[in-house]
Amino acid sequence: MLIGYARVSTQDQNLLLQHEALKQVKCDRIFDDMASGRKIEREGLSRALDVLREGDTLVVWKLDRLGRTVKQLVDLVTELANKGIHFRSLTDSIDTSTPAGRFFFHVMASLAQMERELMIERTQAGLQAAKNMGRIGGRRRKMTDSKIEMAKKLLNDNVLPVDVARELGVSVPTLYRWLPASVVDE
């Protein structure tokens, strides 16, 4: 069975062109969505995926109708292949029921993997460069050196830890994390 899927992003766009193309290739059923391609969960796509069985083919007019990122596309087509379901994109001339179509998707998978690895590499390089310049990643710590000194002074003046924490704008566990228990419990 051929199951068609069409998607437009806005109310201003029209599904007619996609529906006509899917009918021309004799799709048995057509599902559609009016939703952003960034949204992974789409009602029409979910219904189409529920109907697909081993040996069926999911057909789209164009790759970008199925997903926005290479990773989304590769993940979905891999999931389909694991269930014995083929994928076909009409305008991109991709058909995973053929050796060339499967090869094309293996190339896409490799590119997606490389893209992820490069992103990780760039992130690590950026963090290292920031560290070399004396910056530390993550959010700013709540207990600054001056707050730690103030906490010690207040605790030495027998102010209760809960009151010290409230005064400094931190939680009691944060106060205990930054000061040794001996200082807090004195």
Q: What is the pLDDT of residue 37?
A: 60
Check if 9 is active-site: yes
Is domain 2-108 given the CATH code 3.40.50.1390 in the classification?
yes
Q: What is the pLDDT of residue 74?
A: 83
Q: What is the pLDDT of residue 57?
A: 97
Q: What is the pLDDT of residue 85?
A: 96
The answer for residues whose C-beta is within 8 angstroms of residue 92's C-beta and 6 or more apart is 62, 63
The answer for residues whose C-beta is within 8 angstroms of residue 77's C-beta and 6 or more apart is 87, 96, 105
Q: What is the pLDDT of residue 67?
A: 77
Catalytic residue of the set 9, 93, 97, 182 = 9
> Bridge partners of 146?
none
pTM more than 0.75: no
**Residue labelled with tokens 């029409």:** 44
Q: What is the pLDDT of residue 115?
A: 79
Q: E strands along the chain, which residues? A: 2-8, 29-34, 57-60, 86-89, 94-95
Q: What is the pLDDT of residue 39?
A: 66
Q: What is the pLDDT of residue 38?
A: 64
**Low-confidence stretches of the chain (pLDDT beneath 50):** none
